[in-house]
Amino acid sequence: MDRQSPDEIEIEDGAATIPDRKSFETLSYQGEEVMIDTHLAGNQFVKFQIEGADGENPELYFINTKTHRAHMRFMSAVGLPRARPGEGAQMRGVLVYRPRLKGSNGDRGLYTFEFNPNDRYPYETIKKAYKLLIGKSAELRGRLGYYPMPAALIRYHEEKDLYADAPFRVYLDEDLFGDIDYLPLNPGESFGRLRIMELDEYPRPREIVLYRSLPNEMPRSAGIITEARQTPLSHVNLRAIQDKVPNAFIAEASQMKQVSSLAGKYVYYKVEAGGFTLREAKDEEVEAHFAKLRPVKPQKPSRDLEETRIRALDDIGFEDWKSVGVKAANLAAMSSFELSEGVIPQGFAVPFHFYHTFMNHNGFYEKVAELFSEHEKGGDSEALRKALGDFRRLIRDGDFPDDLRERLAKIHASFPEGTSLRCRSSTNNEDLPGFSGAGLYDSCTHRVDEGHLANSIKQVFASLWNFRAVQEREFYRIDHTLTAMGVLIHPNYDEEKANGVAVTTDILYRTEGTYYLNTQVGEDLVTNPEEDSIPEELLLDWFDAGKTKVMRRSNHAKGGLILSAKHLEQLREGLGIIHNRFAKLYGYSYEAKDFAMELEFKVTREGKLSIKQARPWIFSE
C-alpha cells in the first residue's frame, strides 16, 4: 500500500499530535497484553515511531496502541518500510505515563520516553527525539523525561557529561520508583471513622487511620493511610492485605484539606492505582459494609495434641504443621530442599502439647473463660486490653510441669555452651494460605544468663493473648481456646550485617520474571523498620542475578548494594527452588498466578546467608 504521512493516518491507526490528556488516553493501551514488552504490563503507554530521524525533516507518528500493540503491525497498516538494523533513519519508541510522579512543571503525571531494549542512540539523537515529541504534543511539555533501556543505559553512562545540560531529565529505575508521593500498597475500598493517630494510640476495627510514621503494632482497622512510605512487606501492609482493607502511602496527607476536614467523621475510602478517594459517608453505608465482613459461623483451627515430643527440624515434615505450627513445619520442609548448605538453621520444634499441658496445669483455660465473660458484659476494648495484659503476666509467672521443664532443659543443653537461642511463635493461626497472621504473635531471644529455657517459652506462650491477636481472632470468630502455640527454637544471630524479606513474584511493580526483595543494613527490620528508615528495594531476575534492577536504595547503606553478588545468586537460586517445591506442597502449579512464597532472610555477622521463615504470600482480591 502507499506510504501514509502522519497527517494522513486515521485515528484507528494513530495521530500526528497529542494536544491533551484525552488524546493520549484515546491512543493508549493499559493491560497485560504487551507481547514481548513485559516491563510495560499494567502501565498506560503509547508507542511512537520516527521516520527519517537522521535527516532534516523527521516525521513523528503517534501509534494507536489499542489497535497496534507492535510497531511492525502499525508499519504494515500505514505502508512504512522496515529499516535494516543499524540504520538511524527509523526510531521505534514508547511513551509511558507515570501518574505517581511529578514532571518538571510540578504537576503530578510524568511521561517518559524510551526505545527498544537493544537500541543505543547517542545523546544528540535522543535530544532530537525529545524536541520532536514536545513539538508535536502540548500534553508532554513540562512533564517528559528520558528512560534509557538496557543497551541505552550503557551509552548513557558513557556520555553522562553531555546530559548535564540536557533540556530533559534522565530517569533511572531508582528515580522512577524512589521519588513517589502516592503509593497504593493494597487497593480496595472501605468505610469507617477517619482518625489521625499518634504512634502510641491504637486503632479500633471501625476506624480508618492516618499515621504520620509507621506504627510498630497494627491491630485491625478499616483502612490505613501513612505519611511515611511503606514497602509491601511491612507488617502494616501485610495486615492490610490479610484484613482486606485499603492501604496507601500519601505524602503529607494530614495537610490536605480533603483529608483533614474529614477527621472524626465517617468516610468512604478507596485506593486505586491512579489515586485515592475520600468522602464523607452515611451511617447506613457504614453499617451495611461491616455487616458483610465478618464470617457468619465460628471457626475452629486444627490442632494435634497427640504429638508430645520436642523434635529436631530434620525429623519434621510439611505435614506436621497441625502439631508444631506452620512456621516450624515450613522451615523444617526447607531443610530437605536442594538449598546451599547452612542456609536453613538447625533447631527444634516444641509441639502444641506443651502449651496445652501448661495451660491446664495452671488453670489458665478457666481464666480465659472468666476474662471473656467479663468482656462480653462490659464490651470496653480498653478494659479488655488491660485484662489481657494482666493475663499475660500470669502466664509468664506460671509453673511448667517438672517433666516438661526437664525436656526443655535437655534441648537447651544440646546446643553448644554459650549459645543464645531464638524462641519463635509457631501457631495454628498464622502463616496459613489466606491468613498470614503477620505481627500477631511475639518471638524472643533467650540469652545465656536468663536461666531456664522455660522462661522464654512462657513469654512466647503469653503472646497468644496479645490484644491485637485476640482482636483479630474475635473478628474472624476463631475459637480462642482451640488456638495453640508451638515454639520454634534455633540459634540466635547477633550483629547481623543485613536482614530482608523476599517474595517469589514482583508484588509491587508487577514486572514479569522477577523476585521482589527488601533489604536493610544491620538489625533494622524491614517488617518493622525504625522511623525514617528506607530499605533497599530490588527486582531480582529469575534467571540472571546480574540483571538486578535497583528500585530504591537504602538510606543506611554507604554505597553500592547491601547484598553481595554471591548473596544475590544464592537468593536467586533459592527462591526458585522454594517457590516450586512449596507450590507442589500447597497444591498449586508452579506457574499459578495466585501463588507465591514470602521469605525472611538475613546475612549473619560471618557473612553467611540464612533463610529463617517461609509462608504463602496472600494476594489482594
Q: How far apart are CA 431 and CA 613, in angstroms?
A: 10
Is residue 56 predicted with pLDDT exceeding 80?
Answer: yes
Is residue 21 predicted with pLDDT exceeding 50?
Answer: yes
Q: Looking at per-residue confidence, does 430 or 449 come out higher?
A: 449
Contact predicate 593/324, CB 8 Å: no
Tell me the backbone φ, ψ of residue 468, rounded to 5 degrees. Answer: -65, -35
Average pLDDT over residues 524-537: 69
Q: Looking at per-residue confidence, does 43 or 611 come out higher?
A: 611
Q: Looking at per-residue confidence, does 394 or 432 come out higher?
A: 394
Is residue 105 predicted with pLDDT exceeding 70?
Answer: yes
pLDDT score of 180: 73
Q: Looking at per-residue confidence, does 380 or 341 come out higher?
A: 341
Q: Looking at per-residue confidence, does 235 or 350 come out higher?
A: 350
Average pLDDT over residues 340-350: 94
Distance of CA 28 to the CA centre of its chain: 28
% the chain with pLDDT above 70: 95
pLDDT score of 419: 94
pTM for the full predicted model: 0.70
Q: From start to end of 20-72, where are the E strands?
A: 29-30, 44-51, 59-63
Instruction: State pLDDT tens for residues 377-429.
Output: 656 778 888 999 999 999 999 999 999 999 999 999 999 999 999 999 999 98
For residue 526, what pLDDT band results from cuts at 50, 70 and 90? Answer: low
Strands 247-250 and 223-226: parallel
Is residue 493 predicted with pLDDT exceeding 90?
Answer: no
pLDDT score of 297: 85
For residue 339, what pLDDT band results from cuts at 50, 70 and 90? Answer: very high
Is residue 113 predicted with pLDDT exceeding 70?
Answer: yes
Q: How far apart are CA 101 and CA 97, in angstroms?
A: 9
% the chain with pLDDT above 90: 63
Residue from 43, 49, 168, 204 nearest 115 by CA: 49
Is residue 261 predicted with pLDDT exceeding 50?
Answer: yes
Instruction: State pLDDT tens for residues 183-199.
Output: 888 999 999 999 999 87
- Sole residue written with cell 494536544: 19
- Beta-bridge partner residues of 596: none
pLDDT score of 528: 60
Instruction: State pLDDT tens for residues 346-383.
Output: 999 999 999 999 999 999 999 999 998 887 765 677 88
Is residue 85 predicted with pLDDT exceeding 50?
Answer: no
Strands 223-226 and 207-211: parallel
Is residue 3 predicted with pLDDT exceeding 60?
Answer: yes
Question: Could you tell me the maximum CA-CA distance found in the chain, to the nearest angstrom?
Answer: 93
Average pLDDT over residues 7-30: 96
Burial tier of 66 (Cβ tally within 10 Å: 0-12, 13-18, 19+): middle
For residue 245, what pLDDT band results from cuts at 50, 70 and 90? Answer: very high
Q: At what angle do helices 402-413 and 453-462 cross, to 10 degrees?
A: 110
pLDDT score of 379: 65
Task: Report H helices in 168-273.
Answer: 173-178, 235-243, 257-260
Is residue 466 predicted with pLDDT exceeding 90?
Answer: yes
- Sole residue written with cell 530504591: 552
Is residue 87 predicted with pLDDT exceeding 60?
Answer: no
Average pLDDT over the chain reads: 90
pLDDT score of 453: 97
Is residue 621 predicted with pLDDT exceeding 60?
Answer: no
pLDDT score of 235: 77
Is residue 216 predicted with pLDDT exceeding 80?
Answer: no
Radius of gyration of the chain (CA): 28
Average pLDDT over residues 288-304: 86
Residue 48, number of CB atoms within 10 A of its CB: 28
Contact predicate 224/249, CB 8 Å: no
pLDDT score of 86: 44
- Sole residue written with cell 534492577: 549
Average pLDDT over residues 251-256: 91
Contact predicate 246/271, CB 8 Å: yes
Is residue 24 predicted with pLDDT exceeding 90?
Answer: yes
For residue 6, what pLDDT band results from cuts at 50, 70 and 90? Answer: very high
Average pLDDT over residues 554-571: 88
Q: Looking at per-residue confidence, does 70 or 472 come out higher?
A: 70
Of 316-320, 324-328, 426-430, least confident by mean pLDDT is 426-430
Contact predicate 93/77, CB 8 Å: no
Q: How far apart are CA 346 and CA 344, in angstroms?
A: 7
pLDDT score of 473: 86
